[in-house]
């Protein structure tokens, strides 16, 4: 198998991430794929801190820190300015957490997608407002502990389906990715780099402190998320869905849940409910792919 991950390291040491931070591993791969001719827009999120204290930055590319709700529109504005100067080659990537994407920033993201602005928008999804104290977001899965959904009152609502929301905007490219499959990750970012219009990439980003998991298990948890179909890897290109990895034998969701203390309070009926929902979602995904193939 020929490796496709570029050797050059754009992200440098000296960042301020927690050990095992999935979002930092993801940024490293994203910048390897996109290269140094990239401008990154970061709203309020973990990466506002991870990047380093001004005037220092670990990213190795120009960075604009922006308000919580404004990642997409700031990226659109930068791209418009570049085009006005005759620069059509520099990539502009918004890099936001689930709070700044699923919730606070969804209005700006929807506007950019409706206009089909020429930006790459990445949601690194750690399934809560981790930077401000592990509060629940609409990306937090059913049954999960957060500081605002404690053990006796865990989250009762399902996770918002952001891929379907973005698909409804008819943008040219949508993908899911995880650091457990780096070749797939880099390929998708390279593909996004060559497409014009709004490109949306949803990255699962395990958070050891927020998920109450071992810091060395980030890749393991990400891989089981794919194999159990908690987080399927797929692409939607020009409206057609393609599943990138189909587990030959799906892993039990218990293997995913037991590695994370945020699910340690779940009862058997809760786990069965989660498994049933995953089964339904996976079958729907397979049917959608089959329909597009036909």
pLDDT value at 294 more than 80: no
DSSP string, 104-161: TTHHHHHHHHHHT-S-EEEEEE-SSBTTTT-B--TTSPTT--BTTB-TTS---SPPP-
Percent of the chain residues past pLDDT 70, beyond the cut? 99
- Domain 22-293: CATH superfamily, name plus number: Thiamin diphosphate (ThDP)-binding fold, Pyr/PP domains (3.40.50.970)
Model pLDDT, residue 217 = 98
- Strands (E) across 29-90 are located at 38-42, 63-65
CB 69 within 8 Å of CB 100? yes
Model pLDDT, residue 292 = 79
Instruction: Evaluate the CA torsion angle 79, 82, 87, 91 in order and state its sign.
Output: negative
Model pLDDT, residue 2 = 65
CB 256 within 8 Å of CB 264? no
pTM above 0.85, yes or no: yes
How would residue 1 be classed by pLDDT, with cut points 50, 70 and 90?
low
Sheet with 63-65, edge to edge strand ranges: 63-65, 38-42, 91-97, 120-125, 199-204, 173-178, 234-237, 240-243
- In three-state form (DSSP H/G/I as H, E/B as E, the rest C), the secondary structure along 14-31 is CCCCCCCCHHHHHHHHHH
Tokens 């393609």, residue located: 242
pLDDT value at 171 more than 80: yes
Residue count of the chain, please give it. 294
Three-state secondary structure call for residue 202: strand
Q: What is the pLDDT of residues 67-118, one digit of tens each?
A: 999 999 999 999 999 999 999 999 999 999 999 999 999 999 999 999 999 9
Q: What is the pLDDT of residues 192-243, one digit of tens each?
A: 999 999 999 999 999 999 999 999 999 999 999 999 999 999 999 999 999 9
Structure tokens, 80: 């418009």
pLDDT value at 10 more than 70: yes
Tokens 């780096």, residue located: 182
């Amino acid at each position: 198998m020929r490796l496709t991950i570029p050797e050059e390291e754009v992200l440098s040491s000296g960042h301020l991430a927690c050990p095992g931070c999935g979002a930092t591993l993801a940024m490293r791969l994203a910048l390897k794929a996109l290269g140094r001719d990239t401008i990154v827009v970061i709203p309020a999120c973990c990466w506002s801190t991870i990047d380093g204290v001004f005037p220092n930055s670990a990213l190795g590319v120009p960075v604009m820190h922006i308000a919580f709700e404004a990642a997409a529109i700031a990226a659109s504005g930068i791209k418009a300015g570049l085009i006005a100067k005759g620069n059509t080659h520099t990539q502009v990537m918004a890099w936001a957490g689930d709070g700044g994407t699923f919730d606070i920033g969804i209005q700006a993201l929807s506007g950019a997608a409706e206009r089909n602005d020429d930006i790459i928008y990445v949601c690194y999804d750690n399934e809560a407002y981790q930077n401000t104290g592990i509060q629940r977001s609409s990306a937090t899965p059913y049954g999960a502990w957060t500081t605002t959904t404690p053990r006796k009152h865990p989250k009762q609502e399902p996770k918002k389906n952001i891929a379907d929301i973005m698909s409804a905007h008819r943008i040219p490219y949508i993908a899911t990715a995880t650091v457990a499959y780096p070749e797939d990750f880099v390929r998708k970012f390279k593909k996004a780099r060559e497409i014009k219009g709004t490109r949306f990439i949803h990255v699962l980003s395990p958070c050891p402190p927020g998920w109450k998991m071992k810091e060395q298990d980030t890749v393991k948890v990400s891989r089981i998320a794919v194999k159990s179909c908690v987080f399927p890897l797929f692409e939607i290109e020009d409206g057609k869905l393609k599943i990138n990895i189909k587990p030959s034998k799906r892993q039990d969701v218990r293997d995913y849940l037991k590695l994370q203390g945020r699910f340690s309070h779940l009862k058997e009926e809760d786990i069965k409910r989660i498994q049933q929902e995953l089964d339904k979602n996976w079958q729907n995904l397979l049917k959608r792919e089959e329909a597009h193939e036909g």
